[in-house]
Amino acid sequence: MASKSLKKFIWLSIGAAILTIGLKTLAWRMTGSVGLLSDALESCVNLFAAVIALVIITIAERPADEEHAYGHSKAEYFSSGSEGGLIILAAASIIWSALPRLFSPQPLENVSTGLLISVGASAINLFAARVLITEGKKNNSITLEADGNHLMTDVWTSIGVLFGIGLVKLTGWLILDPIIALLVAANIIWTGYRLMVRSVRGLIDTAIPMEERKKVEQLLSKYQPEGIEFHSLLTRQAGQRKFVSFHILVPGVWSVQQGHDLLEVVEEEVRNALKGPVTVFTHLEPIEDPVSHQDIGIDRG
């Protein structure tokens, strides 16, 4: 469980979604732009996604119990996966709205006022997105990062739509409105795909990032001059929590107390070297025993 609740940041996302839905719907009704309609539709998806994220964060922050001894943090991957799917759904709705306009372009009305309203909505999303992404990285929360990235796709959608409407106003080429909407939809699909891939990687117990694994290896290597060895380093990440396990080989003449004291020190050093909640498992072995030097993978008991 995280040291602090992250739900307040999801409430920020929900509030931003409600505000931007109202503003973008107003801008669409004033201008008749399919681009602005697609923007408003994506904000509706943002709201739905933020509600899902709130539910998942609530589950992920529950403490470990008898049936979930390792906690509930892995639930965050379901949120980010659903965010990716909803982003792709939003892109599909944009494409559905834009395709008819390719063959039957429609004039836009009250363009200046509509653009001004849309800019205000985009500013709200940009602020909320930056907060969510920053806090997500700080707290190793894929749910916050996914929701922040979702809002950033909304911002880029808005930028694309505003650019398209501006070109329509300058050139009079009405077909630019649906073309820009389709280009924005393609970018959104790519973002959704990346989120879904990242969620799948988390659900299949992908190792912690390479730079963090190197930190652990460097930390352990400093004990080698003292005749202490390490092997069987295994890592995985479940939402905010990281899991690290390895074997420590010490002289067989050591007492149980000596070995225990070393394990306590090393485990604490590993926890301090990595960001966020970290669970460390160690196994003590005599360095003189040949069996102790067999590198052990997950399939050996």
CATH H superfamily, domain 210-293: Cation efflux protein, cytoplasmic domain (3.30.70.1350)
Q: Are 269 and 102 in contact (CB under 8 A)?
A: no
List the domain boundaries for the chain: 7-203, 210-293
CA distances from 56 to 6, 43, 153, 234 (A): 11, 20, 21, 27
Would you give per-residue pLDDT tens digits along the chain (301 residues)?
Answer: 344 677 888 898 889 889 988 888 887 787 776 666 766 776 777 787 788 878 877 887 787 777 776 777 777 777 667 767 777 877 787 777 777 767 776 665 556 676 777 788 888 989 998 998 888 888 777 778 777 877 887 787 777 777 777 777 777 777 777 777 787 778 778 877 877 777 777 667 778 888 888 999 988 888 888 888 888 888 887 767 788 999 999 998 899 999 999 999 999 999 988 877 888 999 998 988 777 767 665 554 4
- Torsion of Cα atoms, 113 then 117 then 123 then 125, to 10°: -150
Residue length of the chain: 301
Amino acid at 101: R
Alpha carbon separation from 29 to 41, 113, 166 (Å, rounded): 13, 11, 17
Write the CATH number of the domain with boundaries 7-203: 1.20.1510.10
